[in-house]
């Protein structure tokens, strides 16, 4: 098995989860961290990211504007100015 680079991650477990993990690790002769990694791998295999419902939200607000995330303030200001012009045109239009 190839050695993969691992990064630290802090995890809070309920006391009963922690105790069960300790017992299982001792029984299997593995570290608790290894059992957690195996469990995460199994979970990720069973739940591919493509099937995760939250991924359905990605792109839901697609605007077709490439730089929207960088210049959203400019676009919002432009839209507000258009709304103000429409408002003034409607309420201050000369009456016949």
Domain count across the chain: 1
69 or 42, higher pLDDT? 42
Residue 92 in any domain: the answer is no
Q: What is the pTM of this model?
A: 0.48
Residue 41 in any domain: the answer is yes
- Cα 85 to Cα 38, 89, 91, 95: the distances in Å are 60, 6, 10, 17
pLDDT of residue 87: 79
Domain that holds residue 37: 13-53
Residue 38 in any domain: the answer is yes
Residue 7 in any domain: the answer is no
pLDDT digits (tens, 9 = 90+) for 12-50: 999 999 999 999 999 999 999 999 999 999 988 887 767
Residue 84 in any domain: the answer is no
How many Å apart are CA 85 and CA 94, to the nearest integer? 15
């Amino acid at each position: 098995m190839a050695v993969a680079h691992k990064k630290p991650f802090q995890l809070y477990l309920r006391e009963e989860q922690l105790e069960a993990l300790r017992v299982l690790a001792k029984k299997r002769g593995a570290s608790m961290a290894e059992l957690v990694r195996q469990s995460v791998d199994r979970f990720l295999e069973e739940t591919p990211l493509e099937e995760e419902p939250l991924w359905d939200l990605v792109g839901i607000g697609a605007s077709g504007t490439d730089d929207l995330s960088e210049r959203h303030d400019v676009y919002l200001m432009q839209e507000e100015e258009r709304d103000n012009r429409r408002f003034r045109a409607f309420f201050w239009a000369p009456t016949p």
